[in-house]
Structure 1
Amino acid sequence: MTIPHLPDPQSDPQLAPLLALLAARAVPGRRFLLGLVGAPGAGKSTVAERLVQSLPGRAVVVPMDGYHLANSELARLGRAGRKGAPDTFDSAGYVALLARLRQHAAGETVYAPQYRRELEEGVAGAIAVAESVELVITEGNYLLLEQDHWGGVRPLLDAVCYIDIEPDLRRRRLLERHMRFGRDEADARAWIESTDEPNARLIEQGRARADLVLG
């Protein structure tokens, strides 16, 4: 599986550098695992979806967010007020999933969890990755973090692209997202300052380790 017949880069100029990276790194007979990393609100999910649409039936998105710890567990651990921080995920479980996707045993379909914002919980087995899938796109905040189990993510990926946008636009997107899912404006702004922005500063520390920065 070498991701043949990639779309013409001119069909989506913004994705052209990413398509070129895929073409350069593809190895015959090997599934490609691409990581998209960036701060909250940077547009990782949007880029992932555009890439999937350009490769219909051949690519699947497996978000890191499916490995959020359950709200009940966060409450037990006293971390509910920091949901989204590195220690509020099952990072070891996420690494184990990537390892299974890397191996893609013959005839095996790998099932991954999906985070549902309307529930604020992960749903197990919601994403099916068939053996025939050529490109797995995993997107999330901490793909380049080196601490704890997160350090096992990068070696399993063929390439990592850091998504970067203008900070004020990113913060506006976050505000709109939080309000769309039930927070009032004051609560949304407080969450951005207390949780999203500290996480964004941590994520940015890994930017130099990315193979490509897409702005």
Structure 2
Amino acid sequence: MPLDTLIARIDALAGSSPRVIVGIAGSPGSGKTTLATALVEQLGERATHLPMDGFHLANRTLDRLGRRARKGAIDTFDGRGFVALLERVRRETGHTVYAPSFRREVDEPVAGEIAIEPAARIVIVEGNYLLAEQDPWIRVRDLLDEAWFCEAPADVRERRLVERHTLGGRSVEAATEFARTVDGANAELIERTAHRADLRVSGATWEARL
């Protein structure tokens, strides 16, 4: 099974720790959500998937700030709120910690939809900016037991993003433009953070390399 090596790595990290947090960073369309979902499915009830996307600022807030047109950029997230949640996930292992999710069908976060139960000894966190080096994001790395960078060729990422954006209601032309401009600009920042990862993982084959 392709995930065996990664599962074994997580199990080795877990040991006797009350909770282990593994972060999966990567550019839009790299496959990090698919990888995180597959890991949690294999790990079972002892693992929870925690996407960073729940910390998107609300569309109304983005409109007020004039940032709606580039939703997904690093300053369109509540970075401090995300860091605070990770601190809670790390520290509060004796009771349920609730986290927001993100619903693509409404293009908005949903408060308290993800429940991180005490039995969740492994938390798989994924998102674009886990390895970013500006404040407050630079604090994320120290809250992770290990960080992985999920990567895929630019043409693969663009194809996935165009499909995602058209499913969200954009025309093919508008989806392609967004993927190449907004997503493309974000990817340039994200790809520069890959050196901070412990492991690089293919978003297509899940082949891992140091």
Q: Structure 2 length normalisation: TM-score? A: 0.93
Aligned residue number for residue 147 of structure 1:
134
SS in 1 for 2:45: coil
**Counterpart-to-counterpart distance in 2, 1:186 and 1:165:** 22
Matches within 5 A, 1:100-139: 100-106=88-94, 108-139=95-126
- Structure 1 residue 181 corresponds to structure 2 residue 168: yes
Alignment of 1:47-66 (within 5 A): 47-66=35-54
SS at match of 2:112: strand
Aligned equivalent of 1:90, options 44, 53, 78: 78
Paired position in structure 2 for 1:19: 7
- Name the CA distance, whole Å, in 2 between partners of 1:17 and 1:209: 21
Number of aligned residue pairs: 202
The residue aligned with 1:213 is 200
Contact persistence 1:18–1:161 (CA under 8 A):
no
Percent identity (aligned): 50
Q: Over aligned residues, Cα RMSD in angstroms?
A: 1.1
- Amino acid in structure 2 at the alignment position of 1:91: G
Shift of 1:21: 2.6
Could you tell me whether the CA contact under 8 Å between 2:21 and 2:144 is conserved in 1? Answer: yes
* Structure 2 counterpart of 1:19, one-letter code: I
Shift of 1:55: 1.4
Give the TM-score normalised by the residue count of structure 1.
0.91
Shift of residue 56, structure 1, vs aligned partner: 1.5
What CA distance in whole angstroms lies between the structure 1 residues aligned with 2:43 and 2:17? 18
Aligned to 1:73: 61
Q: Which residue of 2 aligns with 1:8?
A: none
Deviation of the 1:16 alpha carbon: 3.3
Which residues of structure 2 form unaligned runs of 5+? 203-210
Gaps of 5+ in 1: 1-11
